[in-house]
């Protein structure tokens, strides 16, 4: 469903959304060059990368400490659910709660990501968790799935199926259509820097039986228990509680032979206002063309 307010503003934003598809390449190239990574070739060779590089690969002189506890391993293959949501959308709080329920379901292994878009901010309430990077990511999914437009709340399951975010039956249908027992569970190790301002992320190498020679590695830092008192907009007067909120997201092209030999090593910055006890690191790999997720895992910056 496309919300009434969003539909009213659709004509005003239609041209800007189309413009974003063209802008995204130059935005990403500019951003990543300043951080030491050039993903221009990623767009040329891999038909588009998912997500802007939002976290700088900073260097830390002192050694890392506080080796994290590993995420519990389930027998079931993981399912990655990305929710595109906003505090400015009255239909989104039920979707936020549903995502939390799905992520805690012990019968299966759901890896949840709550990505707050920014295109609702103009209605009077600026979502403090929102980012244009998530709006652009949602637009890329819409482009790949040939959707007429984006909306909230919307979920994308395993990178290839979409559903209405506050409709459990719709989400369950998308999960059933994309379930893949071959989806690899990644072993993600995290180490917190002594100043607690960055997390070192390592994924152990393993051979990938993939047709492509490279893939997109996404690294997300998420936070649980994020509370927000909304004073304007459609949710005015409500205090909202969010889990699995993506506070940092970075994407990079990874050579398959390189990963098979040495694995993945990266750093992600930690925002000042984040409670590390309530954070997770999610790593997931995607095919560069279709966007299908074929491997995913969770690590923790602090012991649990």
> What distances in angstroms separate CA 299 from CA 33, 111, 126, one per listed residue?
28, 11, 30
What is the share, in percent, of the chain residues with pLDDT greater than 70? 73
Q: Which two structure tokens, joined as six digits, stand for 269?
A: 């910055």
Which range has the worst mean pLDDT, 22-31, 118-127, 254-263?
A: 22-31
Average the pLDDT over 43-50 and give the result: 39
Average the pLDDT over 138-159 and give the result: 97
Average the pLDDT over 30-54 and give the result: 36
The answer to whether the bond into 153 is cis (omega within 30° of 0) is yes
If one compares 118 and 30, the residue with the highest pLDDT of the two is 118
pTM above 0.85, yes or no: no
Q: How much is the pLDDT for 62?
A: 33
The mean of the pLDDT values for the chain is: 79
Q: Which two structure tokens, joined as six digits, stand for 228?
A: 């927000």
**Band (110; pLDDT cuts 50, 70, 90):** very high
Q: How much is the pLDDT for 208?
A: 77
At 215-235, the pLDDT tens digits run: 999 999 999 999 999 999 999
Task: Reply yes or no on whether the pLDDT at 46 is more than 80.
Answer: no
Beta-strand pair 184-185/293-299 = parallel
Q: How much is the pLDDT for 75?
A: 65
**How many other CB atoms sit within 10 Å of the CB of residue 209?**
8
**Band (37; pLDDT cuts 50, 70, 90):** very low
Among 12-21, 33-42, 110-119, top mean pLDDT goes to 110-119
- What is the residue-wise DSSP string for 105-118? -TTS-EEEEEEE-S
H-helix or E-strand spanning residue 223: strand 214-223
If one compares 20 and 209, the residue with the highest pLDDT of the two is 209
Question: Would you kindly state where each structural domain of the chain is located, as residue ranges?
Answer: 4-299
């Amino acid at each position: 469903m496309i919300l009434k307010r969003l539909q009213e503003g659709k004509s005003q934003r239609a041209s800007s959304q189309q413009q974003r598809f063209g802008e995204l390449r130059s935005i990403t190239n500019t951003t990543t060059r300043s951080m030491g990574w050039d993903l221009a070739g990623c767009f040329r060779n891999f038909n588009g990368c998912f997500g802007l590089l939002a976290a700088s690969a900073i260097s830390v002189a002192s050694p890392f400490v506080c080796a994290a506890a590993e995420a519990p391993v389930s027998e079931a293959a993981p399912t990655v659910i990305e929710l595109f949501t906003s505090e400015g959308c009255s239909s989104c709080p039920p979707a936020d709660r549903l995502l939390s329920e799905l992520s805690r379901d012990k019968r299966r292994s759901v890896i949840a990501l709550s990505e707050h878009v920014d295109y609702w901010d103009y209605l009077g309430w600026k979502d403090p968790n929102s980012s244009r990077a998530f709006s652009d990511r949602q637009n890329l999914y819409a482009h790949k799935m040939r959707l007429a437009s984006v909306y909230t709340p919307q979920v994308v399951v395993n990178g290839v199926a979409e559903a209405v975010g506050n409709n459990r039956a719709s989400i369950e249908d998308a999960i059933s259509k994309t379930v893949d027992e071959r989806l690899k569970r990644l072993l993600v190790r995290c180490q917190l820097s002594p100043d607690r301002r960055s997390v070192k992320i390592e994924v152990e190498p393993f051979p990938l039986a993939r047709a492509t020679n490279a893939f997109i590695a996404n690294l997300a830092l998420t936070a649980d228990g994020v509370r927000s008192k909304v004073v304007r907009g459609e949710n005015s007067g409500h205090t909202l509680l969010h889990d699995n909120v993506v506070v940092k997201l970075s994407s990079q092209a990874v050579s398959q032979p390189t990963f098979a030999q040495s694995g993945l090593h990266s750093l992600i910055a930690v925002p000042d206002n984040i409670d590390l006890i309530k954070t997770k690191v999610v790593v997931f790999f995607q095919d560069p063309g279709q966007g299908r997720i074929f491997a995913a895992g969770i690590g923790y910056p602090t012991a649990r």
